[in-house]
């Protein structure tokens, strides 16, 4: 087994706890499915949110999916002028078998962040 990292992002419709949790759950489920992730193989998850998302921590959704023993960190994304609003990003470090290919996931309006990664759409 070796260490891998996978990225993901999703847009959120509004700054309220239910949409933030729903979007994070959708993103995490897609990353779990596409990468065969299991919480016991995950080393850590780092979430960022744009400054217009303050109603809830994205990590709350990850804990509800079984990542309660995984170190989770939430941080603020850089507030760059013209950047896409209401976006949650995640970087997950995990162990997988040699030869595994990390499959990044970008959903909703966040697809525009990495249009170069067709497999992530």
pLDDT in tens, 70-105: 999 999 999 999 999 999 999 999 999 999 999 999
pLDDT in tens, 51-62: 999 999 999 999
Query: In the structure, what pLDDT confidence band is assigned to residue 31 with cuts at 50, 70 and 90?
Result: very high
Which pLDDT belongs to residue 117? 62
Q: Which of 42, 21, 20 is nearest to 102 (CA)?
A: 42
Q: Which CB contacts under 8 angstroms, 24+ apart, belong to 56-64?
A: 56/17, 56/20, 56/21, 58/20, 58/21, 58/24, 58/88, 58/90, 60/21, 60/24, 61/20, 61/21, 61/22, 61/24, 61/25, 61/28, 62/24, 62/28, 64/21, 64/25
pLDDT in tens, 38-53: 999 999 999 999 999 9
Query: In the structure, what pLDDT confidence band is assigned to residue 27 with cuts at 50, 70 and 90?
Result: very high
């Amino acid at each position: 087994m070796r260490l891998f990292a996978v990225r993901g992002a999703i847009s959120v419709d509004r700054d309220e706890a239910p949409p933030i949790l729903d979007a994070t759950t959708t993103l995490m489920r897609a990353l779990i499915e596409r990468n065969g992730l299991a919480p016991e193989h995950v080393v850590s998850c780092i979430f960022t949110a744009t400054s217009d998302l303050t109603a809830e921590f994205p990590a709350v959704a990850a804990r509800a999916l079984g990542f309660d023993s995984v170190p989770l960190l939430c941080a603020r994304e850089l507030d760059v002028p013209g950047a896409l609003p209401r976006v949650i990003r995640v970087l997950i470090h995990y162990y997988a078998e040699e030869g595994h290919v990390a499959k990044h996931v970008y959903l909703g309006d966040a697809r525009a962040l990495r249009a170069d990664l067709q497999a992530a759409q």
